[in-house]
Amino acid sequence: MPAPARPPGLRDPWVLPGLALLAVLTVATILLYRGAPQSAAEVGGRTWVAIAPDAFTPRVSRARERVQAALRAAAAGDTAGAIARFAEAEAEAWTARQNAGDSVQTATATELWASATLDRAELMLRAGAAPWYRGDNTQLLREALAAVQRVQGVPAAPATRTRAAAVAARIERQLRPGPLEWIPR
């Protein structure tokens, strides 16, 4: 006599995993709608902020630590190390900006990112500029100019915008060929 067939119900091997998947998708949908994203790009970032609301603070803290390490390296004369630490601070501050929960946190992270980027660009300007009898490192100067232009493309405080414009003008002046860098425009 054959074994009786199992009655369908909760004993089916697909029911419990299906219910678990349904619960996970329901929670994800609630978090998504709670974040009220304006575009598909915001979906991931806002969902993670809703799940981990304090993702901003550790990133800002690490960015500030990297800035302090960069300042110490620059004071010790290690320009390459300082540039690397400022780049790390930029990355941490940008990630903090993406994880910001409100406009105040976004502004804080943006200013920290812009400051680290401009500090790195100024170091790159000093490292790339050479006396008149030697050629400038134009690749390094162009990278510095690109970094400053990224700062100019992000909404920042007026003081930061003024500083970015001044650094960009110094870099553009240094990029002028030959003795033209000494002649004002």
DSSP 8-state symbol, 14 = T
pTM given for the model: 0.68
Say what the pLDDT of residue 54 is: 73
Say what the pLDDT of residue 124 is: 92
Give backbone dihedrals phi and psi of 88, rounded to 5 degrees, phi first.
-65, -40
For residue range 67-121, what is the model confidence (pLDDT) as tens digits? 999 999 999 999 999 999 999 999 999 999 998 888 999 999 999 999 999 999 9
Say what the pLDDT of residue 27 is: 86
CATH code linked to domain 56-182:
1.25.40
Q: Which two tokens stand for residue 21?
A: 């998947």
> How far is 12 from 14, CA to CA, in rounded Å?
6
Give the CA diameter of the chain. 103
For the chain, give every domain's residue range. 17-33+41-51, 56-182
Say what the pLDDT of residue 39 is: 62
Say what the pLDDT of residue 160 is: 95
3 state DSSP class of 141: helix
Say what the pLDDT of residue 33 is: 72
* Under-70 pLDDT residues of the chain: 1-11, 34-53, 131-134, 178-185
Say what the pLDDT of residue 15 is: 79
The separation between CA 13 and the C-alpha centre of its own chain, rounded to angstroms, equals: 45
> How far is 185 from 173, CA to CA, in rounded Å?
9
